[in-house]
Chains A and B, each alone.
Chain A
């Protein structure tokens, strides 16, 4: 499915790491937009040793059968790396924990490629044991989902991109 084979990603990260060493930098971050719903975010940092943290945006699944698991998660407790200054970004209206589906085994509220209408629930942010349904601020097509199921988000954190 992927337009880019894994190997090229590895090459790319290696090149970044080399750049880091060569120029005596401590951190490089790259956001690449390959297509509608495909992109790559890489942050390469070193503190004595070089650490590479690649982050794939969700793979394009529009035509694929619904995956049972959530898309490739963004790493750990770190807040999403500055994804989209995309004008279509939908920010989180509150701090809390994101859920992409109404209950653990249910299908997700939205998938990449879905057409949503204004006011339609796109995900849930849980705060203080309260499930807050987050509504689409406008109609549009889901270009990207920037958060993983169960991920903590701050106020203003980008949730997804509507276009």
Chain B
């Protein structure tokens, strides 16, 4: 097992990783920018290294600084968390070259899943259901018209190098395809320096269902059921739950097995998530995230596992601590992402937290790195905490969530907490009857 792990991240996830390390008897090294000198992960870690000025590009994304921090502290492994360098194949390669263990999959698997077209081709070959569409890039407008006709409208034009909703254009009918194709290409060129686009069938009102998988890197893999992350705003997840209100046990086992088998076949190592759109009983692969997800705690709650400790185990060459037979979900878990944002416009609200009180009690978990007197810097994303509740049933989990939200105090900055109070009053949320468009529509009506 590693003696010392460097945590190449900040905020709540850095603290989350620190906690996993300490329970395993591992020393931790925090890295931080000058803006994060007083951050909780820096205060808690056994050692800390300031690696650069506030902008992420010159600190948390600066590979030589992170490798140098390992060298001067003697850390043997790097946990990247999510975001930043967590899905950067080049960084993984550099770690490997410097004799450092990257706690995550191989650079080869990250590269394979990082490109949307090769990811989809690979998944299709591995038996994972995919959205019908062009098999690969569509170079010309004529080709786009022909393929759109074959798969049937509506279709969506997406940038190969895209993400976060940029470089995506919808064509509802034949009349829209020329404009959608040309705009998507231009946007892709501007945003990613690469104008390659592809076509997919557009689903009207799907849910976002993702399957948590875990591989040992030696050909064994398991699934830990699904998470429903349909409640999104601008392609950002807002609230997640597991299990999905729309998936029954048989469907869970079916799609779970398909995913576990697929990653087992490629010898995938560590935690990963296969994301699907789900409509009318069918799953359509969107992408695979080759890292820990923000919303991993809902899975941890219902399966009673520690995914970060498991990542560290597998990276250290140990076998997984569970097999598929050990993994039976229990109860229901919901996560709310608490962002430092001002409603109703969701403007970032950095600044000083005067008072912070975290909710507690049975089945309540608050993952956050803020504290009273902490100053939220303006340089990074606005997630300041995740409130996760777990209870025997979905109605009990909703009641517990309402109770926990009423206890949470964050004074001094605006947060998205009131959004969740309001959502819990909605009959659709209470029934679990929502899709990926529900939240945007509801927000537009509320306004």
- A94 in contact with B68 (CB, 8 Å): yes
> What size tier do the contact residues of chain B reach?
10 to 19
Asked if B72 contacts A155 (CB within 8 A), the reply is no
Give the Cβ gap from A146 to chain B, nearest Cβ, in Å. 16
- Is residue A69 contacting chain B, with contact meaning CB distance below 8 A? no
The answer to whether B50 touches A127, judged by C-beta atoms less than 8 angstroms apart, is: no
User: Are B50 and A130 closer than 8 Å at their CB atoms?
Assistant: no
Q: Is B52 engaged at the interface, CB distance under 8 Å to the other chain?
A: yes
Cβ proximity bits B63-86 to A, threshold 8 Å, 1 near / 0 not:
111011101110000000000000
Q: Which residues of A lie under 8 Å from residue B146 when comparing CB positions?
A: none
> Is residue B144 within 8 Å, beta carbon to beta carbon, of the partner chain?
no
Is B98's CB under 8 angstroms from A155's CB? Answer: no
Asked if B49 CB lies within 8 Å of chain A CBs, one says yes
**Interface assignment of B333: CB less than 8 Å from any CB of chain A:** no
Tell me which of A96, A126, A153, A155 has the highest count of chain B C-beta atoms within 10 A of its own C-beta.
Answer: A155
Interface digits, A136-163 against B, CB 8 Å rule (1 contact, 0 not)?
0000000000000000111111000000
| Contacting residue for B71 out of A94, A128, A154, A157, CB 8 A | A128
Q: How many Å lie between the Cα of A154 and that of B94 in the bound state?
A: 21
Q: Check if A81 is an interface residue, CB within 8 A of chain B.
A: no
B46 to A: closest C-beta gap in Å: 12
CA–CA, A96 and B71, complex, Å: 8
Q: Smallest CB–CB gap between B92 and chain A, Å?
A: 15
Chain A residues with CB below 8 A from B34, complex form: 155-156
B65 touches A155 (CB 8 A): yes
Residues of A close to B98: CB separation below 8 A = 128-129
B64 touches A154 (CB 8 A): no
In the bound complex, how far is the Cα of B71 from the Cα of A77, in angstroms? Answer: 12
- CB-CB nearest in chain A for B47: A77
A95-B72, A152-B72 known; A127+B67 contact, CB < 8 A: yes
A96 near B50: Cβ-Cβ < 8 Å: no
A128 touches B50 (CB 8 A): no
- The residues in B between 213 and 251 inclusive whose CB is less than 8 angstroms from any CB of A are none
Cβ distance A39 to chain B, nearest Cβ, rounded Å: 24
Query: Which residues of B lie under 8 Å from residue A77 when comparing CB positions?
Result: 72-73
> What's the Cα separation between A94 and B31 when bound, in Å?
13
Q: Among residues 108 to 144 in chain A, which have CB atoms less than 8 Å away from a CB atom of chain B?
A: 126-130
Which residue from B53, B67, B73 sits with its C-beta under 8 Å from A155? B53
A-B contact count (CB 8 A): 51
- Point out which of A97, A128, A129, A156 has the most chain B C-beta atoms below 10 A from its C-beta: A128
With A128-B67, A130-B64 as contacts: A94 and B72 at CB distance below 8 Å: no
CB contacts under 8 Å to A, within B51-69, are 51-53, 59, 63-65, 67-69
Residues of B within 8 A of A95 (CB): 49-52, 65, 68-69, 72
**Measured between alpha carbons, how far is A77 from B49 in the docked complex, in Å?**
11
**Are B64 and A155 in touch, CB under 8 angstroms?**
no
Taking CB atoms, residues of chain B closer than 8 Å to A154 are: 49-51
CA of A95 to CA of B64, assembled, Å: 9
Which residue on chain A has the smallest CB distance to residue B69?
A: A95
Q: How far is the CA of A95 from the CA of B68 in the complex (A)?
A: 6
Question: In the complex the two chains form, what is the Cα distance from A77 to B47 in whole Å?
Answer: 10
Task: Find out whether the CB atom of A97 lies under 8 angstroms from the CB atom of B64.
Answer: no
Measured CB to CB, the nearest residue on chain B to A130 is: B64
Nearest CB on B from A87, distance (A): 19
- A96 — which chain B residues lie within 8 A by C-beta? 68, 71-72
Q: Which of A64-85 contact B (CB under 8 A)?
A: 77
Q: Give CA–CA (A94, B49) in the complex, Å.
A: 11
Q: 1/0 per position for B94-129, CB-CB distance to A under 8 A?
A: 100010000000000000000000000000000000
Q: Report chain B residues within 8 Å CB of A155.
A: 34, 50-53, 59, 65
CA distance A97 to B64 in the complex (A): 12
Residues of B contacting A157 with CB < 8 Å? 50
Q: Whose C-beta in chain B lies nearest to the C-beta of A152?
A: B72
A155 and B59 CA atoms in complex are apart in Å by 9
Neighbouring A residues of B72 by C-beta, 8 Å: 77, 95-97, 152-153
| Chain B, range 295-337, C-beta contacts under 8 Å to A | none
The minimal Cβ–Cβ distance linking B58 to chain A, given in whole angstroms, is 9
In the complex, chain A residues whose CB is within 8 Å of the CB of B69: 95
Nearest to B66 among chain A residues (CB) is A95
Candidate in B64, B68, B72 with the most chain A CB atoms within 10 angstroms: B68
Smallest beta-carbon distance B102→chain A, Å: 15
Chain B residues within 8 Å of A128, by CB: 63-64, 67-68, 71, 94, 98
Across the interface, do B64 and A127 meet the contact criterion of CB distance under 8 Å?
Answer: yes
CB proximity to A under 8 Å, residues B20-64: 34, 49-53, 59, 63-64
Q: CB-CB < 8 A to B73: which residues of A?
A: 77, 152
List chain A residues, Cβ under 8 A from B53. Answer: 155
A residues near B63, Cβ cutoff 8 Å: 128
Which B residues are CB-close (under 8 A) to A97? 68, 71-72
Q: A128-B98, A155-B34, A156-B34 are in contact. Are A94 and B67 (CB under 8 A)?
A: no
14 contacts between A and B (CB under 8 A): A94-B64, A95-B49, A95-B50, A95-B52, A95-B68, A96-B68, A127-B64, A127-B68, A128-B68, A154-B49, A155-B52, A155-B59, A156-B34, A157-B50
Given A95-B51, A97-B68, 14 additional A-B pairs, CB 8 A = A77-B73, A94-B52, A94-B64, A95-B49, A95-B50, A95-B68, A96-B72, A97-B71, A128-B64, A129-B98, A153-B72, A155-B52, A155-B59, A156-B50
